[in-house]
Chains A and B, each alone.
Chain A
Amino acid sequence: MARLTINGAPRDIEVDPDTPLLWVIREQIGLTGTKYGCGVAACGACTVHIDGVATRSCVLPVSAVEPDQQITTIEGLSPDSSHPVQQAWLALDVPQCGYCQAGMIMAAAGLLMQNPNPTDEDINAEITNICRCGTYNRVRAAIKLAANGGEAAQRG
């Protein structure tokens, strides 16, 4: 038995302690917005927040998460897609296939919490998620838009 706090709610689950947090979230909690892409923390599709820090959940054993740590998934980032990062994503129509985008959005939101005005170099260093459709330039523009409260000039 493990206790986790996911999107503000305590959840008690029967789980093998080695199970990666990703699979607990997807298969036991049933929140499927967080994606599997590689299983080796190389692609970032599984990014969630743990106490506000963007974390790749596919290699993190559930036993490494304390009951009082706040786990936030894409479903819990805002109740109504109103988070500034989600709003910037909407304004710039960022996603293509969309599969990597939950991870991208969580990584971007995590970056902005640590660094409210990231430079291009900061974005390059911190947003290392893989997108195969090719949304990177719009992801970059949307991060800057969100950083500026939705008022920045758009950059392609």
Chain B
Amino acid sequence: MNAIISISRRSFIVGVASTAGGLSLGFNLPFIKPALAEGAETAAEINAWVVIRPDDTVVIRIARSEMGQGTLTGLAQLVAEELNCDWSKVTTEYPSPAQNLARDRVWGNFSTGGSRGIRESHEYVRIGGAVAREMLIAAAAAEWGVPASECTARMGMVTHPASDRATFYGQLAAAAARMTPPANVTLKDPKDWTIAGKPLPRLDTADKLNGSQVYGVDLKLPNMLNAAIRACPYFGGKVESFDAAAVAGMPGVRTVVQVDETAVAVVADTWWRAKTALDALPVVWDEGPNRQVTSATIAAMLEEGLGANDAFVGAEQGDAGAALSATDRTVTATYAFPYQNHATMEPMNATALYTPERCEVWVPTQNGEASLAAAAEAAGLPVQQCEVHKIHLGGGFGRRGNFQDYVRQAVSIARQVPGAPVKLMWSREEDMLHGAYHPTTRCRLRGALDADSNLTALHMRISGQSILASVRPEGMQNGMDPVVFQGLVLNGTEGTLGYTVDNLLVDHAMRNPPIPPGFWRGVNLNQNALYVECFMDELAHAAGVDPLAFRRKLMANHPKHLAVLDAVAERIGWDTPPADGVHRGLAQIMGFGSYVAAAAEVSVTDGQLRIHRIVAATDPGHVVNPAQVERQVEGSFVYGLSACIYGECTVNGGRMEQENFDSYEVVRMADMPAVETIILPSGGFWGGVGEPTIAVAAPAVLNAIFAATGKRIRTLPLKNHDLA
């Protein structure tokens, strides 16, 4: 069924009102250069999303950030699908955050996180394409003096079959831009898609093969200086003093500056010289209030929460406490998930140019508007006098969204060398010591089994850190962080528990250590899936029931959760024995609006783990580019298995101990199993893809390890355990 969308209701998003009645020749906003570097004089903006050049090139505006996840290509496919243009002539560009503000946020939300890039913007970008298509048709009909209803648009061309006339979009664009946008448009049924829904190659591959893709660290501006920074490594500490004179004469050094209360930076002609001087710079730290904090003190804090009386309730059904007290056939286990660093390959960076009148920032960011706000605040200037230029990201994973610390630092440095652009780049050590870490939590699970080995009660007590309390307190609900319960709640469309348990309690004792937490790809779904899916495996074994059969009995009311679980079980051959020495494990969860499952085949020989094969299934509702979905699912295992096998940031003396990849190991080629991806779009909803699958990586593998060894690993990472 096609969706007929009323434009007037949505004009604030589509923004046709702001462009109606006038041909927009590039941009004419204060402080902003034309977005279209080439052809700006002749390109016609049909609406906020679509610009067409006389040579038929279609420039599609993309508000969300590309950081490898393929959203740039997927969103362009959705616009192009409705525009009926020639895909081979499509190119893309980012509107800037200041342009968005100046045009009443015509492009909507710039934030790129929570696997929302496509699922939350698919409708308005398709409307943008459809409106532009109708305006092109109207322009052709007007020129030919025929009814628009007799004209059709296909492959970048409008035709009038009755008079055998046709013309390309490039010839129509200027006139189309002057047309009144239609009052409503009809969006295509996804089953009729010819561009969206197809496994098209990415639009941004070619530049990544020859060194020409420009990342933030690669930016070159005239007279640019480079800055290296060191912030106090102790959480909550600050700069007490530093001896700038000791390095002032070193080669290339221009100045040594304090950055806010917490950091010092050296500005030099090259980054290497800045870093060399910074390494030689004597700094005395005020180590702050957390020098006694260690991983052990944090663990003790969380352990206390496991037994605390007060907790926020995230899901409740029946009376789990009473049901657990009424039987002695209970299973209890405690799991723990450590701090993780995002470890994007491109270190944090931003380039800032400050004058007393204006501040410009160039930055790889997941949220251009957050970058703009941070720049304005740090510059002490009205936001209208600031601009942010988004640059392609060398990885984001949640580190470059809410957290704009590097933007504030870059602007703070630039204010101290006004008139010169300064590129600030963190060293890897700085990146490891100043993360927005995946929070640490623990979970005590208690389950009750009846005489028929049915699960009659389940209590999950989560103890640990809230991200929202630290990062987005406005999202808290009466003191509770609802995001803590990702994947475990009973209602909603984001992530519900896939099991029906008559007596259920999921609650959270918030314990916030003084370590900055953040949204790490997969967020709280990662540990919640680990807890519930490993414990389901424990319950099944205690009940003496096959882990798949045990789950299936609880999933009758959750057909979409069950469908992906069944799919991986079937593909891995759950009903047939694996090869000698090979063992299997399963996991499923719902998160970011999608249903995901994984099955793993592993062997453990002399304590050495080998992951032979992973089968993953995902139901995101609709699929815009199946090739990109496959890549996201595969990549999810690199992220998820890195956390499972190696990932752990440990705290000692109030600071992180890991400073580089030699102590913070991650999955590499030799660890990487074959991944088979099953995409099962059941339609009717839009789920995310970039994150949910990460959560099932660890529990599927840990359950397989139990099958192989009889060892139940309840504390990540695996590197700390002897599997022999």
Contact = CB atoms under 8 A, between A and B. Distances in A.
Nearest to A125: B670
A130 B86 CA distance: 37
A93 B201 contact: yes
Given A42-B661, A96-B69, A101 B208 contact: yes
A150 interface: no
A32, A35, A97, A130: most-surrounded residue (chain B CB, <10 A): A97
A98 B202 CA distance: 12
Nearest to A97: B68
A5 B634 CA distance: 39
Contacts of B491: none
Interface string B49-70: 0000000000000000001111
Interface string A15-55: 01001100100011011111111111011010000000000
A131 interface: yes
Contact of B345 (A40, A45, A94): A45
Contacts of A81: 206, 209-210
Contacts of B74: none
A139 B208 CA distance: 13
Interface secondary structure of A, over-half rule = loop
B148 interface: no
Contact of B428 (A20, A23, A37): A37
Given A98-B394, A101-B208, A128-B668, A43 B345 contact: yes
Interface string B613-632: 00000000000000100110
A23 B637 CA distance: 33
A3 interface: no
B211 A33 contact: yes
B669 A40 contact: no
Interface stretch (B15-23, B212-220, B500-508, B579-587): B212-220
Contact of B638 (A94, A125, A136): A136
A149 interface: no
A129 interface: yes
B316 interface: no
B235 interface: no
A61 to B, nearest CB: 12
A44 to B, nearest CB: 9
A156 B394 contact: no
Contact of A93 (B205, B214, B637): B205
Contacts of B271: 23, 27
Interface in A114-143: 123-125, 127-140
A95 B639 contact: no
Contacts of B394: 35, 97-99
Contacts of B207: 98
B346 interface: yes
B662 interface: yes
A131 B642 CA distance: 11
Given A38-B428, A40-B661, A132 B210 contact: no
A74 interface: yes
Contact of B344 (A30, A40, A89, A132): A132
A73 B211 contact: yes
Contacts of A4: none
Given A38-B660, A38-B661, A123-B669, A96 B68 contact: yes
A81 B667 CA distance: 28
B229 to A, nearest CB: 15
B217 to A, nearest CB: 7
B206 A16 contact: no
A124 B344 contact: no
B217 A36 contact: yes
A90 interface: yes
Given A37-B428, A93-B201, A138-B631, A74 B639 contact: no
A71 interface: no
B675 interface: yes
B638 A134 contact: yes
B217 A35 contact: yes
B118 interface: no
A57 interface: no
Given A23-B271, A37-B428, A132 B666 contact: yes
Interface string A73-88: 1110110010000100
A134 B270 contact: no
A140 B669 contact: yes
A134 B211 contact: no
A39 B428 contact: yes
A36, A127, A129: most-surrounded residue (chain B CB, <10 A): A36
Contacts of A127: 669
B261 to A, nearest CB: 27
A133 B672 CA distance: 13
B252 to A, nearest CB: 9
Nearest to A42: B661
B287 interface: no
B367 interface: no
Contacts of A33: 210-212
Given A127-B669, A136-B669, A96 B631 contact: yes
B343 interface: yes
A8 to B, nearest CB: 15
A123 to B, nearest CB: 6
A136 B207 CA distance: 19
Contacts of A75: 210-212
Contacts of B667: 136
Contacts of A20: 272
Contacts of A140: 669, 672
Nearest to B638: A134
B676 interface: yes
A6 interface: no
A102 interface: yes
A63 to B, nearest CB: 14
A41 B437 CA distance: 24
5 contacts: A32-B218, A35-B217, A96-B68, A96-B69, A133-B395
Interface of B: 67-70, 201-202, 204-215, 217-218, 220, 226, 251, 270-273, 343-347, 392-397, 425, 427-429, 627, 630-631, 634-639, 642, 660-662, 666-670, 672, 674-676
| Interface pairs A-B: 8 shortest CB-CB | A33-B211, A134-B635, A97-B68, A99-B394, A134-B638, A98-B208, A96-B68, A124-B670
Given A81-B206, A89-B209, A132-B639, 12 more contacts: A32-B217, A32-B218, A39-B427, A81-B209, A95-B208, A97-B67, A130-B668, A131-B345, A132-B344, A133-B635, A137-B672, A156-B630
